Every structure is written in C-alpha cells, then in structure tokens.
Amino acid sequence: MHCPAHNNDNVDTVMKTLKPALLLPLLALLPATQSMATELRMLSSYDQTTAYSREIAQRFIKEVEANKAADLTIKLTGPDVVPPFEQLQPVAAGVFQLLYTHAAYHTNTTGVGAAMDGVAVNPEQTRESGLWDMVDEHYNGLGLKLIAIPPLGSHGFQYVLKEPITGTPGLDGRRLRGSPTYTNVTKGLGGTPVLMSSGDVYSAMDRGVIDGAAWGLNGVKDMGWQEVAGYYSKPTFGQTYNFVLMNLNAFNTLSPEQQQVLLDEGRELETEIVPILDELAVEEWKALDEAGMQPTEFAPEDAERLDALVTDGIWQLGIDKSPEAVTAMRELAIEKHLTTVSE
C-alpha cells in the first residue's frame, strides 16, 4: 500500500516537470503585451538649444512619440556630429533615418528644396497646388521621402549687424554670413556673402572676420549673437522654410500606420508653427532690445527692393542647380499666385 504523501510527492514532481512544457506553447500563442518601439535617428542642422530645434524638430518628435498608433521613438542628433552642409548624404545612405534642415545646406546636390523659399507662406495652398507633391517626387529620386516643409514664420529674414545701416546700398562694403539663399540680396545691397554655418557666426563676428549675418527671425538670442552684434535690420523680408526628410527605404519599411502618423504630424506641424514662431520673433526682439541691441532701418529705396532681391535670387539659385525641376516649380507657383517675381 502506497503512502499518500509519497503519491503527492510524485504528483508534484510530475506537475513541476509538465508545467513549463505545457505552458510554453500556450504562451507563444498569446499576443505580446509590450512591443519594442521602432527607433529612428534624426540628424538636425540646428543645436538642440535653439528655437528652430525646440519649436519644430522637438515639437514634431514629441507629437510622433505621443501617438500610440505609431509606436515610434526618435533620437535627435545635432550638427556637432555631422556639419549642416554635409548632412544630406548620410541620411540618403541610411546612416540616419530622418533629417531636419534648411535646404540651402544641400544645394550642391539639388536646388529644389532651396527654391521653396521663393514660395509665399500658405501651407495648405502649397499642398493643394501640387507644389508639395512636386518637391516630394524630386526628393524621392534622391532616395528621400518628404515628411514636412514647415515655414519659419510668416516672414523670413533679417540681418544681424555689428554696425548700423547708413546710406544706400545699406550693406556696402560689409562681409556678411549667409547660406546660398541670401547671396543675391546681400550682393544687391552692396555686401559680400560669406558661406558659413550658424555655429561659426559668433566667433567670426567676435574676431571681425564678418560684419554681420543673414538669418531668420528666431534664434539670435539662443546663439548669443547679441553679445557680438549691436543691431538687427528692418524691415524683415522674404520667407523661408525648413525640411523634414526621411530615408525612402526606411520609410517604406515602416507599417502603413507608422507612415501615416509621420505624414499627419508633418502636415499639422506646417500649419500650426507659423503663429508660434511669429509670436516668438516679437518676444525675441524685445529680449534683444533689453540686451542692448537696436533696430536699424534700410533706406526706402533699399527696403522696397528686399523682397524682389531675395525671391528672384532664390529662384535663380534653384534653376542654376536643378534647371528643369525648379523651372516647373516656378511656373506652377506663378500660376497659383504663390510667388511674385520680377519680369
């Protein structure tokens, strides 16, 4: 007669042996309760402390990561890793999956992105007109997918100067930092353009290598230029856009849901960012005034030429680099009343 305790021991032993064998195939059939989010690496032309990074790139990342349908995370890397003028190639090659930049930084490859600065700020009309799709198709040919073209406010540019404007042409004899976007307007106002990334401007002004810098309406204070320059120019002129681009192969490997989240958040970014940056520009001018800077005015004969100089110059820059594509863009923008060009 067997002892009951002995029987129980045997049962326990058998159960301990069988449980893992029985449970493992069952567990394999259950849906995973947690999935690993897909991580994307974004390369940015702007230091993470600047307004154009905080308000655009980091805002976009936050919204994408908050969208549970995407299950995406984005790691942001700045120009300290790859300089702005060298960033398109590693993204096209897939070393990074996303790029946040101004297209003037890659005019050696294409003029199409830079030509967008000739288009009036109207994000919905840019899409409805077919311009957005035209730009997207062009970048597809470079191995890139267009995600967003956020405008940097309703107006684009100003000059930050060590000395005030006197006489006309207002920039006569001055050496001024700029990307290729600014070449025509700087020359038209008597200045000499100096190709330079924004990160080098502070030391160049401090050492007297340049007399000022062309820039957008946000970020001067972030970069500390008020410490080495005393003036910012009026009136503002033109318009300008940044780009969010993605490696096309990386985009195509995402799920349809993930792709749609990126595109939807990109579209929302384009429309919501303009009033935000406009308000920040006003706040920044107040802060620059408090720091000791002053506005300095172009003479009326120069002021009335500013928009035409920058817009004509941008279209010509684009046509020089990518003749067929940018000519088509320009014709469509004229037809849809999204640009004003000199005849």
CATH 3.40.190.170 residue ranges for the chain: 38-152+241-278, 158-238+285-321
Q: Is 190 left (phi over 0), alpha (psi -120 to 50) or beta?
A: left
192: helix, strand or coil:
strand
Burial class (CB in 10 A: 0-12, 13-18, 19+), 132: buried
Dihedral of CA atoms 195, 199, 205, 207 in degrees, nearest 10, equals: -100
| Backbone φ, ψ for residue 37 (5° rounding) | -65, 145
The pLDDT of residue 341 is 80
Which CATH code of 3.40.50.10950, 3.40.50.720, 1.10.3720.10, 3.40.190.170 fits the domain covering 38-152+241-278? Answer: 3.40.190.170
101: helix, strand or coil:
strand
CATH code reported for the domain at 158-238+285-321:
3.40.190.170
| C-beta separation of 53 from 216 below 8 A | no
In this predicted structure, the answer to whether residue 29 has a pLDDT above a threshold of 50 is: no
| Tens-digit pLDDT profile for residues 284-330 | 999 999 999 999 999 999 999 999 999 999 999 999 999 999 999 99
Please state, in angstroms and rounded to a whole number, the distance separating the CA atoms of residues 231 and 64. Answer: 38
Q: Structure pTM?
A: 0.86
Please state, in angstroms and rounded to a whole number, the distance separating the CA atoms of residues 145 and 329. Answer: 18
Confidence band for 62, pLDDT divided at 50, 70 and 90: very high
In this predicted structure, the answer to whether residue 25 has a pLDDT above a threshold of 60 is: no
